[in-house]
Amino acid sequence: MERYVKISKKDFYKWVDSLKKHGKVYAPKRKENTHVFRPIKDSSELDLNYISTILPPKKYYFPQKESLLKFSIKPFETAKAIQKFEEFVLFGVHTCDLAGIQCMDVVFREDPLDPNYINRKDRMTTVGIECLKPCDKHASCVSMGNHVPRGGYDIMLTEIKGSYIIHLNSQKGEDILQGHSYIKKCTQADRNLLDSLRKNKERVFKEEFIGQLTEVYTVFSKLSESGVWDDVGKRCVGCGNCTTVCPTCYCFDVKDELDLNLNDGLRYRWWNSCQMDDFARVAGGEDFRPGRVSRQRHRYYRKFKYPIDKFNRYFCTGCGRCSRTCMAKINLTETVNDLIKEHRNVSIGI
């Protein structure tokens, strides 16, 4: 198959319905005035006209609660908790969330690698969808460079003039397209349309940060004691919404749950948040990251400083979820811009 093919919108839903045979399909679906990723039974439930879902699709490859270990106390035994991982299709993923998947990949593939994550990811087929217009004032995908496809998908859909242009990025991608006569070759004219669409996006999508990422990194390297953190920390209510909805937050806690017989049980991992006040507290009572100022700063540094040093990758995807969900109206773009402004002022001696 060619690397670029296309499908008309008329046939598109037929094809979506055919995906079932490749596993459960998770896709954006309307929920009240917003959208969520949910399993869909047929294409009528799908709604691709959406801005970021409440939760990122990480819940499917890094579940909120997952079992790690089966145990019994007497006789003392342990066993693998999950016997089988299932094939699934993650459908209609925006490019910001694809960047999130790539970040998680880097973390969980790093030695010692995480078999649960890898097993799930190996069975996941990812279908991306390109955004054609900026979503809302909370996103910062342009500054983060994630408003255009940068890999991380099996196929990518771009809607152009009554059709979807499909970019194939893997064998898995080819597998879900094969055998459908309505999937057509892309003509040169179609490719030209795609090129001009991307050019047009450069005009429509405006950078949200007042500086380039290299400047952002420098600012974070220098301003860990900035008053900006005091302001953010004072407003923060410590609810942990920002980390829950973040596509690149992966911290977790490990807990045991016993059956009613108090002998057999499961060890789980649960999403946890560095914004919780007991996150860095040890049994002896010492808290190694006390106060919301340092905990908020930590969250930001885990997006704009530490992962760059470690993986050469920004862990903010620009999806805007943390700002959208914040009860205290802490806005990521504002925070970053305030830091940049402060740094520029300091540099010129104001």
Partner 1 sequence: MFQSEFKKIIPYSPYRTLPAEIIAVKPYTSLEKLFRLRLKGNAEFDYVPGQFMEISIFGSGEAPISLCSSPTDKGYFEITVRNVGSLTGALHNLKKGDLIGVRGPFGKGFPIDDFFGNDILIIAGGLGIVPLRGLIRYIMHQRKDFGEVQILLGCKSPEDMLFNDEVEQWGRHIDILFQCTVDKADPDWKGNIGLITNLIPGVTLNPMRTYAVVVGPPVMYKFVIKELLKKGIPDRQIILSLERRMKCGLGKCGHCQINGIYVCQEGPVFKYRDLRTLGEAL
> Interacting stretch for partner 1, rule CB under 8 A, among 183-191, 272-280, 321-329, 337-345?
272-280
Task: Say if CB 128 and CB 139 are below 8 A apart.
Answer: no
224 binds partner 1 (CB under 8 A): yes
The site for partner 1, by CB under 8 A, has a size of 47
122 binds partner 1 (CB under 8 A): no
Nearest Cα neighbor of 27 from 119, 116, 96, 128 is 128
3-state DSSP assignment of residue 211: coil
78 binds partner 1 (CB under 8 A): yes
CA dihedral 37, 41, 47, 52 (to 10 degrees): 10
Q: Binding partner 1 by CB under 8 A: which of 132, 237, 254, 346?
A: 254
> Cis before residue 112, ω within 30 degrees of 0?
yes
Shortest spacing between CB 240 and partner 1, in angstroms: 13
Task: Say if CB 220 and CB 301 are below 8 A apart.
Answer: yes
Q: How many residues does the chain have?
A: 350
Across 9-123, the runs of DSSP E, i.e. the strands, are 24-31, 34-39, 65-72, 77-80, 88-93
Task: Say if CB 34 and CB 44 are below 8 A apart.
Answer: no
CA distances, 271 to each of 64, 254, 285 (Å): 5, 9, 22
Nearest Cα neighbor of 244 from 66, 91, 53 is 53
> Interacting stretch for partner 1, rule CB under 8 A, among 1-9, 48-56, 170-178, 259-267?
259-267
Q: Binding partner 1 by CB under 8 A: which of 181, 284, 329, 349?
A: 284
End-to-end CA distance of the chain: 60
32 binds partner 1 (CB under 8 A): no
250 binds partner 1 (CB under 8 A): yes
252 binds partner 1 (CB under 8 A): yes
Shortest spacing between CB 292 and partner 1, in angstroms: 15
253 binds partner 1 (CB under 8 A): yes
312 binds partner 1 (CB under 8 A): no
Residues 288-307 close enough to bind partner 1 by CB under 8 A: 288-289, 294, 298, 301, 305-307
Instruction: Show the site string, 321-340: x = touches partner 1 by CB under 8 A, - = not.
Output: --------------------
72 binds partner 1 (CB under 8 A): yes
**Residues making contact with partner 1 (CB under 8 A):** 68-69, 71-73, 76, 78, 80, 107-108, 110, 112-115, 224, 250-256, 258, 262, 265, 267, 269, 272, 274, 279-284, 286, 288-289, 294, 298, 301, 305-307, 309-310
